[in-house]
Amino acid sequence: MEPIDSDRKRKKDSVSSTDRPSEEKPKDKRDDHHSNKHRKKSKMSSRDQVKASHILIKHQGSRRKASWKDPEGKVIMTTTREAAAEQLKSIREDILSGKANFEDVATRVSDCSSAKRGGDLGPFGRGQMQKPFEEATYALKVGDISEIVDTDSGVHIIKRTA
């Protein structure tokens, strides 16, 4: 009977991953501009949230040098930040002039997995995206398209949709 008591004591003293303080839990290794999206949603009303689509082009300085388009990162590792920004500027001009459609371009060009949805990130609130991305999105009016926005993920243009 004594081994049972010691087993109980051991189990009682052990700390499961759900009992650990949050800072001890393994960090999510995902590395994109919306890396906080799996956090528990706060009780933020929908009027405090925005909705946006974006086009992301990764470059040598991006923290994760792979994407759905370039799984091994061969193109990303040879793309300078300046080249990525120039490509986005040209895309933005084509969209604003009516030569191209934002969602179509996002589907073909964006390095983000949201490309499958025409760049649509869905609704999000403050604290859920990287700060420069969040600030740029909240500053836009619905329907507006941002200038180039730099984040750790790469360079973006953002279209606020709600």
pLDDT of residue 113: 97
Which pLDDT does position 155 carry in this prediction?
98
Q: Say whether 38 is catalytic.
A: no
Q: What pLDDT band is residue 45 in, cutting at 50, 70 and 90?
A: low
For residue 44, name the pLDDT band (cuts at 50, 70, 90).
low
- Catalytic site residue 153? yes
Residues 142 and 161 sit within 8 Å (Cβ to Cβ): yes
Q: Is the pTM of the predicted complex or chain greater than 0.75?
A: no
50-62 average pLDDT score: 98
CB atoms inside a 10 Å sphere around CB 93:
11
Is 54 one of the catalytic residues?
Answer: yes
Average pLDDT, stretch 98-111? 98
Q: Give dist(CA 116, CA 23) in Å, integer.
A: 33
Q: Is 112 a catalytic residue?
A: yes
Indicate if 156 belongs to the active site.
Answer: yes
Q: Per the residue annotation, which of 35, 54, 59, 128 is the catalytic one?
A: 54
Largest CA distance in the chain: 81
The residue annotated as part of the active site, out of 35, 67, 110, 130, is 130
Q: What is the mean pLDDT of residues 37-63?
A: 79
Q: Note the pLDDT of residue 14.
A: 39
Answer whether 46's CB lies under 8 Å from 123's CB.
yes
Mean pLDDT (whole number) for 36-65: 79
| pLDDT value of residue 24 | 42
Give the span between the Cα atoms of 155 and 55, in whole angstroms: 8
Predicted local confidence at residue 43, as pLDDT: 53
